[in-house]
Copies of this chain bind each other. A is one copy, B any other.
Amino acid sequence: MASSTHPSAPCAACKFLRRKCIQGCVFSPYFPPEDPIKFTNVHKIFGASNVSKLLNEIAPHQREDAVNSLAYEAEARLKDPVYGCVGAISVLQRQVLRLQKELDATNADLIRFSSNQNTFNIPQSSGNNYPQNPHALPPNYGTYSWNYDP
């Protein structure tokens, strides 16, 4: 139930937790009543207390991004309890490696063309440059491994 200082409907978090949604509620700006699933998912995976602690440790202007990334992780974990959004990371890492391999092969073809035909210059119009750091992947956290094979 909304308090007199918070005239709108209680946020989805306070409604779910059956508590009064007071002004300054840490959840209210990010869990609107019209999207109850967002809080239910985040609560199920992380727990309301952990989310509240996390939000209080983050600058206000970054809280919306934090909640939305938590909601993404939570939904991914509910859809895939074993891998969660780490499955998406595995898919993307393989895609990066495959594309890099294809690009290497295509660049090798272009070099072969230009060396076989001296009068030919490699076209510059595309502005295509060999990537400076082709294997830059996101950081590896810990030493934990898994076999993701969808």
Contact = CB atoms under 8 A, between A and B. Distances in A.
A127 interface: yes
A22 interface: no
Size category of the binding interface on chain A: 35 or more
A81 interface: yes
Chain copies in complex:
2
B82 A146 contact: no
A84 B73 contact: yes
Contacts of A103: 99, 102-103, 106
Interface of A: 38, 44-47, 49-50, 54, 57-58, 62, 64-73, 75-77, 79, 81-89, 91-93, 95-96, 98-100, 102-103, 105-110, 112-113, 117, 120, 122-123, 125-129, 131, 136-139, 141-142, 144-148
